[in-house]
Amino acid sequence: MFFFMCSNMYYIYNYRFSTIQNFRCTRNWEDLAWALSFYLRYFMCYVPLYGVLGTMALLISVRFLESHWFVWVSQMSHLPMNIDHEKHKDWLSMQLSATCNVEQSAFNDWFTGHLNFRLNISNLFPTMPRHNYHQVAPLVKALCEKHGILYQEKSMGTAMADVYRSLKNSGELWLDAYLHK
């Protein structure tokens, strides 16, 4: 239950409010104005339809769903991967062993916002726009094949099931440690 409720509420607070706080503390007034203008425009659009409380409920509900989506999409490429002690591998091999891709399809690209290419693109080319990831993926796959590096790719269903299994295993480890102090 914690994962379904608390992690999402933390994301809502941490990402939204701490970003605005950061703009204020760093005196980044232009970005602060743009961020606050979103809320101003949002309330101007929805208060006439739903009232203040209804608009707040809508905002929190949308952010809750968004954060739940974000947690699953971001973690299906990272969380279920094996984490081990330092093996003194090169940077590329370490990146490729710690993440995996989700197979490309029109639905997967849309649903994940092109974050289904977490393995090779976002970590190897952090400044590349997400909508170009699919163009570079075959090049990275060919590079991996050329150098004998494992290129990991899963279906979305398998990736989501792996997240669930990983969380279940973590919960069981915690419970075992808690019960057998």
Token pair for 69: 């989506």
What's the first-to-final CA gap in the chain, in angstroms?
23
With cut-offs at 50, 70 and 90, classify the pLDDT of residue 4: low
Q: pLDDT tens digits, residue range 92-142? A: 777 777 778 888 888 988 888 888 876 667 777 878 888 888 888 888 889
Q: pLDDT tens digits, residue range 150-161? A: 888 889 899 889
The per-residue pLDDT for 44 is 96
Query: What proportion of the chain, given as a percentage, has pLDDT over 90?
Result: 11
With cut-offs at 50, 70 and 90, classify the pLDDT of residue 58: very high
Q: How many CB atoms lie within 10 A of CB 112?
A: 22
Q: Helices in the chain by DSSP H: which ranges?
A: 2-11, 18-25, 29-75, 91-98, 106-112, 133-147, 156-179
Does the pTM surpass 0.85? The reply is no
Is the model's pLDDT at 2 over the cut of 60?
Answer: no
Cβ atoms 118, 100 nearer than 8 A? yes
The residue ranking higher by pLDDT, 118 or 57, is 57
The per-residue pLDDT for 149 is 83
Q: pLDDT tens digits, residue range 42-56? A: 999 999 999 999 999
Q: pLDDT tens digits, residue range 77-94? A: 777 566 666 677 777 777
The per-residue pLDDT for 52 is 94
- At position 174, the amino acid (one-letter code) is W
The residue ranking higher by pLDDT, 93 or 7, is 93
